[in-house]
Amino acid sequence: MALALVCAAGVLVGLAGGASSASASDQVPTYYLALGGSGSVGFQPAPAHPEGERTDRGYANDLVVAERSRWSDLSLVQLGCPGATTETMLSGGGKCLYAEGSQLDAAVAFLHDHPSTVLLTLDLGFNDVQPCLRHETLDEDCATLAIERVRDQLPVILERLRAAGGPGLEIVGVGHYDPFLGYYVDGPDGPSFASASLGVIGRLNDTLRTAYVAAGVPMANVAAAFDVTGTEVTDAPGIGAVPRNVARACALTWVCAPSPLGPNRHPNDAGYRAIAEAIADVIAAH
């Protein structure tokens, strides 16, 4: 219930620039609205919560700092929900409660009430396919249906967000890394499962990119930031010789970490910074 109430209320973090208090009061505040799943609210494992808990060290927090030279008074609003899918984004349900009914309804209401929102990131898709990759087994039919659902539902979400946003709103889609690559080092079945997962994440990213391009929305290339296609062998500290994409997954997430913090598929601080940099690159290019 505590999590639901937090998600319903959202999280607002103000970062003021160097303006004086008098001049700042005359300015219309600008907002960054972060939407999506657990990554959008900076989930990381902690000893008391090894599955993960909200932190202020996610990519959205990093991005506010990175974009301070462009929007000096940018304030972060996080309406994301752990486990969010395109279905729960549209229809509600899941782990979070929203007074408006769904995360999308809450986002639309916020955009209507705050036309000075200048930036919105949308981080969806991974939770749709994650149930299809369990116990080092890929359910191909499940993955195909999940990706088709994302293909059908993401354009509806984007259309409603675009219609609700002001003329100055910049929307950036967030692509996905593949944390399942870390399972490469988990026994004899690990390499084949890691390879299978990479195919699913690749198809998911292609589907997301198609929907974003059709809506005129750029997508941050998180897969490239995590070097998911890098197969040259490298030495990973504490692991040994593995493909580079495996080493990157282990270095940028908690998936290869020992208990109690691992294995956990969320990014660590370095991973969140890499995602923020990928988003910042897209913002700079537009």
- Could you tell me which residues come within 8 angstroms of residue 264 by beta carbon, excluding any fewer than 6 positions away? 44, 45, 50, 51, 52, 253, 254, 255, 257
Structure confidence at residue 26 (pLDDT): 56
Give the pTM: 0.90
Q: Is the pLDDT of residue 180 over 60?
A: yes
Residue 58 domain-assigned (yes or no): yes
Asked if the structure places residue 160 within a domain, the reply is yes
Q: What is the pLDDT of residue 27?
A: 75
For 174, the domain range is: 2-223+271-285
**Tokens of residue 34, six digits:** 């972060």
Please count the structural domains in the chain. 1
Instruction: Quote the CA–CA distance of 263 and 4 in Å, as a whole number.
Output: 25
**16 domain residue, yes or no:** yes
Beta bridge partners of 173: 122, 219
Query: How far apart (Å, rounded) are the C-alpha atoms in residues 13 and 107?
Result: 16
Q: Are strands 240-243 and 233-236 parallel, antiparallel or unpaired?
A: antiparallel
Is there a domain that residue 152 lies in? yes
Distance separating alpha carbons of residues 221 and 48, to the nearest angstrom: 33
What CATH number should be reported for the domain holding residue 55?
3.40.50.1110
Question: Is 247 contained in some domain?
Answer: no
Find the mean pLDDT for residues 266-275.
98
DSSP tag of 130:
G
Query: 285 is written with which tokens?
Result: 């290019």
Residue 144 lies in a domain: yes
Coil vs helix vs strand at 5: helix
Reference 174, options 136, 133, 220; nearest CA is: 220
Mean pLDDT confidence for 121-128:
98
Residue 254 has pLDDT above 90, yes or no: yes
Q: Is residue 137 included in any domain, yes or no?
A: yes
Q: Quick one: which of 261, 272, 264, 257 has its CA closest to 42?
A: 272
| Residue 71 in domain | yes
Q: How many CB atoms lie within 10 A of CB 269?
A: 14
Alpha-carbon distance of 38 to 53, in angstroms, equals 9
- For residue 19, pLDDT over 90 is answered with no
Q: What 3-state DSSP class applies to 153?
A: helix
